[in-house]
Amino acid sequence: MVLSTSAVAIFRHTFAADILSRVETPLREPTFLILTALAGEPMHGYGLIAEVARLSDGRISLRPGTLYGALDRLVDAGLVSVDHEEIVDGRLRRYYRLTEPGGDLLVAETERMRRNVEAATTRLRAIKAAPRLSGGLA
């Protein structure tokens, strides 16, 4: 616990100020999902679009122009980098991976959202336990 708190503090004092000045937080959902998709394994553009659609149950359908605009920002911010390249059907295919600061930012964002979920869950449980309040909300 102490270790994780210290790690978060070190991250905040070293990378965060620089990164957050270039990437708006809280992260937008597509950006969060791109980072989440890359947390699994390096992916190329088409793979990322398909994975983001799968992670969002089809709600978010990125287009290539939008995806590469987001990737440019994330690469410039040092959150994502090129892993390797290959040639498929004579065309260049580039694979991207999450960098260490990118992973740290994803952890911090996930932690922030987890706290929000916990707070909401606790409140909702309290409402269920008190039927009078529950009726008042209905």
| Site for other proteins, rule CB under 8 A | 21, 24, 44-46, 49, 63-69, 72, 82, 85, 87-94
Q: How far is the CB of 123 from other proteins (least distance, A)?
A: 24
Q: How far is the CB of 84 from other proteins (least distance, A)?
A: 8
3-state helix, strand, coil in the chain (%, to 5): 65, 15, 20
Sign for the CA dihedral angle at 113, 81, 77, 58 comes to: negative
Q: How far is the CB of 39 from other proteins (least distance, A)?
A: 21
Nearer to other proteins, 72 or 118 (CB): 72
**103 and 19 in contact (C-beta within 8 Å)?**
no
Distance separating alpha carbons of residues 77 and 19, to the nearest angstrom: 6
Burial label, 64 (beta-carbon count in 10 A; 0-12, 13-18, 19+): exposed
Nearer to other proteins, 41 or 85 (CB): 85
Nearer to other proteins, 82 or 130 (CB): 82
Nearer to other proteins, 81 or 110 (CB): 81
**70 and 34 in contact (C-beta within 8 Å)?**
yes
Q: How far is the CB of 119 from other proteins (least distance, A)?
A: 21
